[in-house]
Structure 1
Amino acid sequence: MKAIGFKKSLPISDKDSFIEFTAEKPSPKGFDILVKVQANSVNPVDYKIRQNAVKDEVLETPKIIGWDAVGVVEAVGENTNKFKVGDAVFYAGDINRSGSNAEFQLIDERIVGKKPKNLSIAEAAAMPLTSLTAYEALFDRIRIDPEKDKGKSVLILAGAGGVGSIAIQLAKKLGNLTVIATASREDSVEWCKDLGADFVVNHYHLKADLEKIGHSQVNYILDFVDLEMYWEAATEIIKPQGHILSITGSSKPLNLDLLKNKSVTFSWELMYTRSMFTTEDIERQHEILNHIADLLDNGTIRSTLNTTLNGFTVENLKEAHRLQESGKSIGKTVILF
């Protein structure tokens, strides 16, 4: 089968940052299904792993990355019971396994959902990873109750990004929250408003803008961009007994004492946790993706697809990584195979 990978972590401008090669078509066993990939999308995790995974050696066999895919089930393992050959599926994958930058991929069916029927292949491919991340953040980590928490405020840092774009919709439509998103460029501001944000504030003068809209403090903060940059501001802006969540990590220790007097809760969200550790509730991701598919099909939320690249080629994969690395991409970028 055709695959695209890399043998060493190189700048995207390097001719060998991605290389095309032929790999053996795998066969499913256990809970795995074999999917013929029709499209995938590129997320920040893709370029971060490409930049850092193979710094001190040159691999003999190229590493295949890629998380997010839409495809058709080609074969199933002996323990499967959720899908059959011919089913259309979408998923975000497992960071410990070979990725979706290949014509075929093995994936545990317990982290796979049915493809939304009313979406195109490209529209569906944009959704799995960001939807899982945003959904888990709101409803598994913070545990938003749409009735009890109705009207409470959530500040979404980087509202126009891939995760922010779906978090705005889920927080508004499912969580019944007052949604405040950050954006600075005119196009990203309009994107956030169009997705349903009640307010859009400029992250360059965050506290002043929040005061202007009457929300100097908020109940929840979702960091989808840079925890270290916003940490002290977040601890000031969060309301007593509020909740701060981050997906971005920190290269240095965080001063959690800043949360003590307000009794603020802090959580991490990593979409890969369930698959990395085969947690007891690993099947939760299957359930979430099916729920997301229903929400997309009935129009409650919409795809965050913004850019489509036609053709599973080295150049298109490089272009998708360039867009992500620029920090200026809006919504999601999808590659149609």
Structure 2
Amino acid sequence: MKAIGYTQTGPVDGSGALQEVELDQPQPGPRDLVVAVKGVSVNPVDVKLRAALAPEGGPGILGFDAAGVVTVTGTEVAGYKVGDEVFYAGDVTRPGSNAAFQAVDERIVGRKPASLDFTGAAGMPLTSITAWEMLFDSFRLTEGGGAGQSLLVIGGAGGVGSILIQLAKRLTGLTVIATASRPETQDWVRKMGADHVVDHRGNLAEQLRDLGLAPEYVAALTATGQHWPAIVELIAPRGHIALIDDPQNLDITPAKPKALSISWEFMFTRSMFATSDIGAQRDLLNRVSAMLDAGELIPTVTERADALTPETLAEAHKRQESGRVIGKQVLPGLSA
């Protein structure tokens, strides 16, 4: 089958980066689906792995968002059949979706929203899982909970922020404050439903004081190290900070006087370790799919390519590296 892979780490336009390769079509494990990939998305994790993680035993196949059609099912699969349309974010320890076919555990796969085409649907899984787990696993909120409390989303116009704002407004009683610095990103987070918008290039603690808010929850989605002193200053005592990026040096000692809780959200944990609750990702994706079809969520795709080639994929990686992507980037899959 056709795939796009990389053979060595480094810049996206360097030797060994993002080239077309031929691979054997994957064979399913007992709980696997083999999916003909018809839509993919690019996320920061793709860029990080390509730049830093050397592939072993052949080309590294990235891509951790996909939508497609089931072509083969494993011997123990019970929830899907050949011909089903699905979407999912995959498993960082297995070959990704930048291939014509992909094997994926059925327990992390949801049914594709009928209201979206394959390319559009591919923009939703990874960010939806991350946002959902942050709200309900990290923060331990309950649906309908959070009334009278507030959430600060740092990096509100990115892929995760775009759906996190929506889920928080749709499923909880939280007041949502989002950070955005450009007019277009400020307009975008308001469209997603943010109650207040502040500029992360300014003094966050001062802006929150001006709003009269001390958030109980902070979703640190980008530049956590840079914003850390302000986060600790502005958050309410006994508040909770959840982060998804990788600050190199994070001194949590200043968080002690406020008795703050700090946790990482990593949506690949359930698939990497085959946790006992791995099926929670299937369930939440099906819920997100139903909400999209009901018009309760706005799709977050803002950039579409016409084809998936080494060139278009490299351009999407460069856009991610720029840090200026609003919402999600998507491309047709190699089986489209």
The answer to whether TM tops 0.5 is yes
Q: Which amino acid aligns with 2:46?
A: D
Distance 1:147 1:31 in 2: 34
1:32-47 alignment runs, 5 A limit: 32-47=32-47
Q: Of residues 218, 222, 230 in structure 1, which corresponds to 2:219?
A: 222
Q: Is the 8 A contact 1:122 1:305 kept in 2?
A: no
- Mapping of 1:1-337 within 5 angstroms? 1-14=1-14, 16-54=16-54, 61-205=58-202, 206-215=204-213, 217-252=214-249, 254-337=250-333
Residue aligned with 2:181, SS: coil
Letter in 1 for 2:208: L
Decide whether the 8 Å contact of 2:205 with 2:231 is kept in 1. no
Distance 2:132 2:243 in 1: 13
Q: Match for 1:27: what amino acid? A: Q
Look up the equivalent residue of 2:52 and give its one-letter code.
Answer: N
Please state how far the C-alpha of 1:202 moved relative to its aligned partner: 0.3
Letter in 2 for 1:152: Q
Query: Contact 1:8–1:59 (CA<8 Å) still a contact in 2?
Result: no
Letter in 1 for 2:39: A
Query: Distance in 1 between the 2:225 and 2:41 partners?
Result: 27
Summarize the Cα distance change of 1:36–1:147 in structure 2 as closer, same or farther, 3 Å threshold. Answer: closer
Question: Is this contact kept in 2: 1:161–1:329, CA < 8 A?
Answer: yes
Paired residue type of 1:18 = L
The separation in 2 between residues aligned to 1:51 and 1:121, in whole angstroms, is: 28
- Equivalent residues of 1:7, 1:60 under 8 A apart: no
Alignment partners' CA distance in 1, 2:56 and 2:156: 37
Query: CA offsets, 1:171-229, max 9 Å, x none?
Result: 111122101000101110100001100011000112222222222x2111001002211
Shift, 1:15, TM fit: 5.7
**Preserved contact between residue 145 and residue 172 of structure 2 (Cα < 8 Å):** no
Distance, in Å, in 1 between the alignment partners of 2:144 and 2:329 is: 34
Distance in 1 between residues matched to 2:21 and 2:47, nearest whole Å: 19
What secondary structure is seen at the aligned counterpart in 1 of 2:216? strand
Instruction: Give 1:322's aligned amino acid.
Output: K
CA–CA separation in structure 2 for the residues paired with 1:176 and 1:119: 28
Moved over 6 A (4+): none
Between the aligned partners of 1:166 and 1:30, the Cα distance in structure 2 is 33
* 2: CA distance, partners of 1:60 / 1:149: 48
So what's the TM-score if we normalise by structure 1?
A: 0.96
Given that 1:163 and 1:224 are in contact with CA atoms closer than 8 Å, whether structure 2 keeps it comes out as yes
Partners of 1:247 and 1:301 lie apart in 2 by: 22
Residue 27 of structure 1: CA displacement? 1.6
State how far apart, in whole Å, the 2-side matches of 1:208 and 1:132 are: 32
Query: Which structure 2 residue ranges, 5 or more long, are not aligned?
Result: none
The DSSP-based 3-state class of the residue aligned with 1:122 is helix
**Does structure 1 conserve the Cα–Cα contact (< 8 Å) formed by 2:148 and 2:175?**
yes
CA contact (8 A) 1:65 1:99 kept: yes
Q: Which moved more, 1:118-127 or 1:289-298?
A: 118-127
Identity of aligned residues (%): 45
- Distance in 2 of aligned mates of 1:231 and 1:165: 21
Query: Could you say what the CA RMSD is over the residues aligned between the two structures, in angstroms?
Result: 1.3
Secondary structure of the structure 1 residue equivalent to 2:169 = helix
The 1-side partners of 2:207 and 2:71 are apart by 52
Q: Which ranges in structure 1 are unaligned for 5 or more consecutive residues?
A: none
- What secondary structure does 1:204 align onto? coil
> Are 1:179 and 1:197, in contact at CA under 8 Å, matched by a contact in 2?
yes
Distance 2:191 2:38 in 1: 29
Task: Report which stretch shifted further, 94-103 or 143-152.
Answer: 143-152
Report the alpha carbon displacement of residue 146 of structure 1 after superposing the two structures with TM. Answer: 3.9
Give the distance between the partners of 2:193 and 2:120, measured in 1 at CA. Answer: 19
